[in-house]
Structure 1
Amino acid sequence: MTTRHPLEIAFSSGRAGSGPATWGQQAIWDAVRRLPPADAPRYNITTAAPLDPGLPLPVLLAALERLLHRHDSLHTRLLPPDDDGGPLRQVVDPEGTLGIDVRTAGERDAPAELGARLHEELAAQPFDTAAQWPIRVGLVVADDLVRHISLVLSHTAVDGSGMSRLVADLTALCLDSSPQASAELRRPSQQPLEEAGFQTSERGARRDAAARRQVLRKLRQGPPRLFPPASDPSAPFPNAVLRSPALARAVERVAAAHRVSTGSVLLAATAAMTARLAGTTEAVLNVVVNNRFLPELADAVSVVAGDGLFHLPDATGEFGEVVRRTHAAAIGTYRHAYFDRLALATEIERLTAEGVPLADRSCVFNDTRDLLPAAPDPGNDRTTLSWPVEFEPRPGLTYALDALQSPEAISLAMTANPAVLPRPAMERFLYGIEELVLTEADTGAGKPGTEAGVAPPR
């Protein structure tokens, strides 16, 4: 029989302070507060894994306490604007307690199954970021060792790259006798209050202004509408997941042949299918960017990811050529995705009021493959399409497409407005991405690329 016994880690002597929220904290906080309560947990950043051969509970608890000391984002709260309309603020608490949900497996309990249920339970809960620290930990103990761990964080604390860094640090702290682990922990990382200080500095203001100029330039160039207009959505948004082992292999071949990143290949195929289904020759995508171009943010455990506006004027040409142009355009998009989104929203509102036509921003692409641990995989070699869930309607969204990694496949998870892209159109979209990449791998991957360059991050 499973028993549950919550524990608390007492944390003290940590760094303290308060200041304005970072651009990333503000953007995610705004996005989550606009969601229906049942949808908010979708923004949680989560990972779970079995621990084999297991760890003593005291070792893991000590590592978690050291993790709290290392990363301020784990003991930071976000205070909403006051009645006077002040800014969102971050408060770094120097002390407090972190609750740990510990489940002890009985003789008939499989730790992996118990851990999966615990992870699902923790991930399904939203965060009160004003009152709670943005981290939950679940542990499964069997035979006096921790056999499974679940980490659930608010997206206001980390993005996918931040979670990867967090997992690496926790692993090193649990195995801190390793020289490699010690070297890993010596890497510098900027804390959120330090990042906010940069953003409010003269240098930060220049970078912000330059990035927003680039985005506004693309907004004036792109088509004001891709798909036919639809009224405000009322029906649930279907979620389709295409799992393709063949795509995982083909995307590597195409990337190597054209000397680009695999992320550029998937982005090119998404742009091409967007243009085809919209009946246009160009595509505009809001790309979620894991922006770590600033050296001081390279290893930051925080939320840095922003939105980049990707515009491809001729997305329906020969696919190999589309891939190469996508790669070149993506680098500029990623480099100019670090900016104050509130300031950009103000500029967009002004231009809209003046009647300036601006590009469609309702199609979203997010490549998470290198940012989060691989998801469990059923292990078969066939392409499958499933419809696992429906979501609350999201006004202003045509579709959101996530690229996910599993050990043997790439999965494309698409959520769309059914009034614009009904289920048959979603199927054509997902299978079309697979077909474009597989065909290029079979017929075009032997041709050398005409452009080389530094591959942008996925």
Structure 2
Amino acid sequence: MITETAVQAEFHGGRARVGPLTWGQQGTWDGIHEWLPEVKPFFVLTRWLPIPLLLGVGDVLEQISELLLRHESLRTLFHPSPRGDATQEVLGSGALDVSLFDRPADDPVGFTDIVTDCLVRAGATAFDHDKELPIRVSLALHDGIPVLVVLGVSHMAADHTGTELLVAELTAMLRARADGKPVPAPKPSVQPVDLATRQGSPDGQLLNIEATHHLREQLALMPSAPAPARAVPLSPRFVRGEIESDALPVAVRAAARRLRTTTSVVLLSITTSLLRCFCPGPTYRLDVMQSNRLAPDLFNAVTTMNQAVKTAVALDVDSFDEVVRRSSATMAAAKRHARYDGRLAREVLRDVVLPPGCQVNDMWSTLPRARATATGAPAATTLAWPERTAHEDMDLYLDTGGTTDRMRLSLMADTALLPPEDIEAFLFAFERIATTLATEDITPTRIAEVFAESQSSSSSIA
């Protein structure tokens, strides 16, 4: 029988202070409280990693304590104010509860089931940010020997990139401890309170002014009505489909080289071209998520910095070259204007009724490129239907992730606009278009044909 106990990872001697939220934290805070008591999957980022042999529970707890000391965002409480915002209190000392799940050697329960249960637990309950540190940690043990670490990180403490940095750092720290070597030194990075101070400076306010001007320009170009329904919506209304593909990373990189642009622009161009297949245009709302890690001291920051830039994209184009040109301009503008105070943006939007549109979050292009290694034949592309939900703010959510060599392309869609068979068609058409672009040009007419062909061959129902 699995034995569950609890221990603590204590931390002492850290810097204690209080400050305002960063712009990224404030946007996340507002999003979390907009949906409470529902906990959206992206509000808690869950990960797991193996523990090297020869380490005891005490060794692992020491490294978790060191991780908390290195990153102020992990030992921060968030206190609400009557105005709806919050302050962050960084604790200099304290303790984090860590759950232990010990599996006897003769127990039939597999570690996969234990990890799955821990991941579900980590993300099932909303964080009490006023009293609870924004990270949940579990250890899976085999007869008292730690085997796996499971993390649940609140989006208030880290975004996707920050969470991957945490996993890589903790992995290296545990490996060094097992090898009897000094743990790697922390990489220089800004802490959230310092970032909030920078954003409140005159230079930060200038970013706000420029972002506000860009927002007003885009609002003037946006359609006044949503895209018309194409089907009777399902219940729950929103369905997420996703493919995992070895072919996509190779094709997208090759297309970027051939077109002399970035992988993010290629992905955005394919997305925009497919939108033309079911949105009448001439424009459509497109929110572009940006990681905001352009400065050197932000590369390794463990906090939440991603913000969305509202844009209007033109769908009335005659060539894919023109799509690429416009996508490049859209992405460049999004990078320039993705740092802003969301509360000021809400003032601009106070009397504006925005149509739902598509949010694009390209997390794959931000992954560090691993050194090439010899591999076998590419694995087959797989299709999954991981999520259904009743309510969302947008028609479509397109996310890229996975690994450098196997991309996960995920589309959450309003089934009134894209029923499940069309979600599947979109995903596989996306892969086919990328593969074509790796070696040759493609026309908007041919893109529409590829989407129609994918529709006719769709067979999976969510």
Instruction: Note whether the superposition's TM-score is higher than 0.5.
Output: yes
Tell me the equivalent position of 2:77: 77
The separation in 1 between residues aligned to 2:87 and 2:116, in whole angstroms, is 35
Tell me the equivalent position of 2:157: 157
The separation in 2 between residues aligned to 1:420 and 1:160, in whole angstroms, is 28
Change (3 A) 1:338 1:325: same
2:303 is aligned with 1:302: yes
Tell me the equivalent position of 2:449: none
1:250 offset after TM fit, Å?
A: 1.5
Tell me the equivalent position of 2:252: 251
2:361 is aligned with 1:366: yes
Q: Which runs of 5+ in 2 are unaligned?
A: 370-376, 443-462
Q: Is the 8 A contact 1:18 1:92 kept in 2?
A: yes
The separation in 2 between residues aligned to 1:329 and 1:393, in whole angstroms, is 28
Could you list the per-position Cα deviations for residues 282-303 of structure 1 after superposition, in whole angstroms to 9, with x for gaps in the alignment?
4431112111123332221111
Q: Is the 8 A contact 2:211 2:340 kept in 1?
A: yes
The separation in 2 between residues aligned to 1:275 and 1:199, in whole angstroms, is 38
2:402 is aligned with 1:405: yes
Change (3 A) 1:105 1:180: closer
Change (3 A) 1:213 1:275: same
Change (3 A) 1:138 1:86: closer
1:41 offset after TM fit, Å?
A: 4.3
1:31 offset after TM fit, Å?
A: 0.8
The separation in 2 between residues aligned to 1:417 and 1:436, in whole angstroms, is 23
User: What is the root-mean-square deviation of aligned Cα atoms in Å?
Assistant: 3.1
**Aligned-residue identity in percent:** 29
Give the counterpart letter for 1:285 in structure 2.
L
Q: 3-state DSSP class of the match of 2:220? A: helix
Change (3 A) 1:344 1:418: same
Q: 3-state DSSP class of the match of 1:74? A: helix
Q: Is the 8 A contact 1:267 1:326 kept in 2?
A: yes
Per the normalisation by structure 1, the TM-score is: 0.84
- Total equivalences in the alignment: 431
Tell me the equivalent position of 1:88: 86
Tell me the equivalent position of 2:37: 37
Change (3 A) 1:233 1:191: farther
Change (3 A) 1:407 1:52: farther
The separation in 2 between residues aligned to 1:417 and 1:51, in whole angstroms, is 41
Tell me the equivalent position of 2:265: 264
The separation in 1 between residues aligned to 2:404 and 2:6, in whole angstroms, is 33
Q: Which runs of 5+ in 1 are unaligned?
A: 353-357, 446-458
Q: Is the 8 A contact 1:175 1:181 kept in 2?
A: no
Deviates more, 1:98-107 or 1:113-122: 113-122
Q: 3-state DSSP class of the match of 1:101? A: strand
Q: 3-state DSSP class of the match of 1:221? A: coil
Q: 3-state DSSP class of the match of 2:349? A: helix
Give the counterpart letter for 2:358 in structure 1.
C
The separation in 2 between residues aligned to 1:113 and 1:320, in whole angstroms, is 48
The separation in 2 between residues aligned to 1:36 and 1:17, in whole angstroms, is 28
2:414 to 408, 413, 417: 417
2:102 is aligned with 1:101: no
Could you list the per-position Cα deviations for residues 60-95 of structure 1 after superposition, in whole angstroms to 9, with x for gaps in the alignment?
21111111111111111111222xx26321122222
Change (3 A) 1:398 1:221: same
Q: Is the 8 A contact 2:49 2:171 kept in 1?
A: no
The separation in 1 between residues aligned to 2:43 and 2:276, in whole angstroms, is 28
Q: Is the 8 A contact 2:52 2:174 kept in 1?
A: no
Could you list the per-position Cα deviations for residues 165-214 of structure 1 after superposition, in whole angstroms to 9, with x for gaps in the alignment?
222332343345799986652x3221111111112222211122112222
Change (3 A) 1:229 1:373: same
1:219 offset after TM fit, Å?
A: 2.2
